[in-house]
A and B are shown apart, each in its own frame.
Chain A
Amino acid sequence: MSTTPNPAASINPGSPPDLAARAELSEIDASTRNPAVFFLCSSMLWLLAGTALALIASFKLHTPHFLGDLEWLTFGRARAAHLNTIIYGWSLNASFAVAFWLTARLSRSILRHAGILMAAGVFWNTGVTAGVLGILAGDSTSIEWLEFPAYAAPMLLVAYALIGAWAVITFRFGKSGHIYVSQWYILAALFWFPWLYSIAQIMLLLAPAHGTVQALVNWWFAHNLPGLWFTPIGLGAIYYFLPKVLGKPIHSYHLALLGFWSFAIFSGWTGAARLAGGPVPAWVVTAGIAAGFMMLLPVIVTAINYHLTMTGGFGALKFSPTLRFIVFGAFNYTLAGLIGSLQADRAISETLHFTHFTIAHAHQGMYAFFTMVMFGSIYYILPRLLLREWPSAMLIRVHFWTTATGATLYILALSIGGAIQGWMINALDAQGGLLHPQVLDIVKATLPWLFSRSIAGMLVTIGHLAFAVNFCWMLFRDPAAPRHTAPTLFHDPAETEEPS
């Protein structure tokens, strides 16, 4: 195994890319240890902070006087701080760790220049800290999904530039010979993110566009960040872990190709559909609606491919923690995709838009799909980084069942509550007047569903605490404890007993 002398030589197109031989998986895992553990620890801390802020925001919706004396925790600040903590703190840190671990493995190349990633991690988390504190201090931009004050953005962009440079180096020195489908998704996401983030920063913060164009850019960004970053990273992770855990190749590579390219073509257009009924050019919304319905193609194709890969392997759900989370996430990707396409319809949007249904949909995508896939990925990756097994199987089960139940309850409660809210807002009496002219009546009708959301949030919190305890226990357990020498092969299936 040889390494390149410095990052400049790695980037230099004139230097030969075949300096290193194809590396062993355990060797690759070891090379990713420091940056991956750093990003995962950061993501874990942000997950706990974001969960606490989520609970506060949720409680305030049905019990407004809760923490009412703290100006830095008013609903407007707590909610925005929750969203940004979870998106930029938990989700992006976790997705960076999973993306570069997968990139290194799939490139069959050891991770070079870990210092670049460590520096990126420091910049990124400093930026997120500045952004979250800024929101809590009242500096929010009030632009959804981009509430971080302008002073946080440069640090995030520097961090991302470092990660992008690292990805190019790793791809260049890849020894796999074939670019696996997961790499397509990850490379595309790495390419799309700087485009999304920089254009949104320019057109919304540095030199804001005027009038409704601002709303268009905002929804282009807010819909594409989950669509063109989190979704491809999540799908890429599923395409790797599902066959890898089962020990059988993905059912159809042809379908994977069709799913990827149709996703790449249509996904970026869908945000405009969320402005149906708004004062924006009709053709923009119509293009968004058409793309929203065309998204049925990649969603259905991907769902079929995952399902056919799982066929005959559902028994593995009993013994693999990774598979449980991944399959739950994949199922929710399909549901969120189908519901998202339906929501693009003008008539349906008329009722459901501006209601809690939208919040349910966002959480189905970002939590039930993406976050659960990240949990599954972390259950697979961390033991291979630390060469230790997870200390407690019981805590993993608590984590899975509380988060799966909590997320399902959350989505059901807010979907039903949101639909009721939409019907009440739009309902007319025989004379064509509003059936519920008092907004307070509509708010009161949503209260039981908002309470249910808080209960679901508490369940999810229990799961996150179980995950955090297991995570820290594993990280800080006695270094003298026995270590496995073959981190990619923990157990032989024949030795595995049925879990209770």
Chain B
Amino acid sequence: MESLFPIIAVTTGAAITATAVYALRWSSKHGQLRDFEKNAASIFDEKEPVGHPTDFFPQKRRKPKTTTPAT
């Protein structure tokens, strides 16, 4: 079994390197490496736009202001 270790190691290493090269080629071909600044905003959309925080402590709504009638 031990004699198989170098074969396993070399095969696994080659497969992982090949996958990394393929992943890089795929990303380049599919435009993943272009227009980074636009892509940085891809997690925002019209419902959760840039400039809109999305997490708050619960039960911290401000009470609506009461208006007093003019005297």
Contacts and interface: CB of A to CB of B under 8 A. Distances in A.
Interface in B1-47: 1-2, 5, 8, 12, 16, 19-20, 27, 31-33, 36-37, 39-45, 47
Contacts of A243: 40, 43
B53 A253 contact: no
B57 A319 contact: yes
Nearest to B19: A191
Interface in A177-220: 177-180, 191, 195, 199, 202-203, 207, 209-210
Given A178-B39, A499-B60, A25 B47 contact: yes
A321 interface: yes
Contact of A249 (B1, B45, B50): B50
Contact of B54 (A180, A202, A396, A488): A488
Contacts of B41: 249
Contacts of B1: 207
Nearest to A187: B23
Q: Which of A179, A199, A241 has the most CB of B within 10 A?
A: A179
Contact of B53 (A210, A252, A320): A320
A335 B1 CA distance: 42
A101 B20 CA distance: 25
A321 B53 CA distance: 12
A65 interface: no
Q: Decide if the interface of chain B is mainly helix, strand, loop or mixed.
A: loop
Interface in A417-432: none
B37 A322 contact: no
Contacts of A250: 40
Contact of B51 (A178, A244, A247, A321): A247
Nearest to B64: A495
B12 A320 contact: no
Contacts of A490: 54-56, 58
Contacts of A210: 2
A226 interface: no
Contacts of A491: 56, 60-61
Nearest to B48: A488
A393 interface: yes
B59 interface: yes
B2 A209 contact: yes
Contacts of A496: 56-57, 60-62
A293 interface: no
B47 A253 contact: no
Contacts of B49: 247
Nearest to A213: B5
Contacts of A106: 43
B65 to A, nearest CB: 12
Contacts of A25: 45, 47-48
Interface in A449-500: 488-491, 493-497, 499
Interface of A: 24-25, 106, 176-180, 191, 195, 199, 202-203, 207, 209-210, 240-241, 243-250, 252-254, 256-257, 264, 316, 319-323, 379-380, 389-393, 396, 488-491, 493-497, 499
Interface of B: 1-2, 5, 8, 12, 16, 19-20, 27, 31-33, 36-37, 39-45, 47-62
